[in-house]
Amino acid sequence: MEELLTSFKKIRCIYHSDIKKENFLLGSNKVCIVDFQHIGVLPQAFQTYAFFNIGDAFAASVGRKLGFQPSRTVNAMVAMSNLLQQCGLRMYSSSFMGTQSWS
């Protein structure tokens, strides 16, 4: 967890969260982004997460081509993401069922 928190103090990079073949052109020595709808500027760990932790072989190949590698920091992000998704689903279903009020 400490490593994850430390990563937020590092230099930011362009982050693309919609890594699909339609949004990138891969050349022999370069990668071009052709769709900028899902772009942000975040710590590098977020881009690494998008490359290697969404279960998509194309995303992983783009990440490797750009010199990214899976990291322990990103593995901690996966655990936190799963926890947040579970909490969010519980809060959503509770409010949807009328058992919780939001004031």
How many domains does one find in the chain?
A: 1
Domain that holds residue 24: 2-96
Query: Does any domain span residue 28?
Result: yes
CA atoms within 13 A on the CB side of 18: 10
Query: Does any domain span residue 102?
Result: no
Distance from C-alpha of 71 to C-alpha of 26, rounded to nearest angstrom: 23
Query: Does any domain span residue 44?
Result: yes
Adjacent-strand bridge partners of 42: 13
pLDDT, tens digit (0-9, with 9 covering 90-100), for 7-55: 666 667 777 888 888 888 877 778 888 888 888 888 888 888 888 887 8
Query: Does any domain span residue 101?
Result: no
Query: Does any domain span residue 103?
Result: no
**What integer pLDDT is reported at residue 101 of this predicted model?**
47
pLDDT, tens digit (0-9, with 9 covering 90-100), for 91-100: 555 554 555 4
- Whether the pTM exceeds 0.85: the reply is no
Q: Which helix (H) or strand (E) holds 46?
A: helix 44-52
**What integer pLDDT is reported at residue 93 of this predicted model?**
53
Query: Does any domain span residue 43?
Result: yes
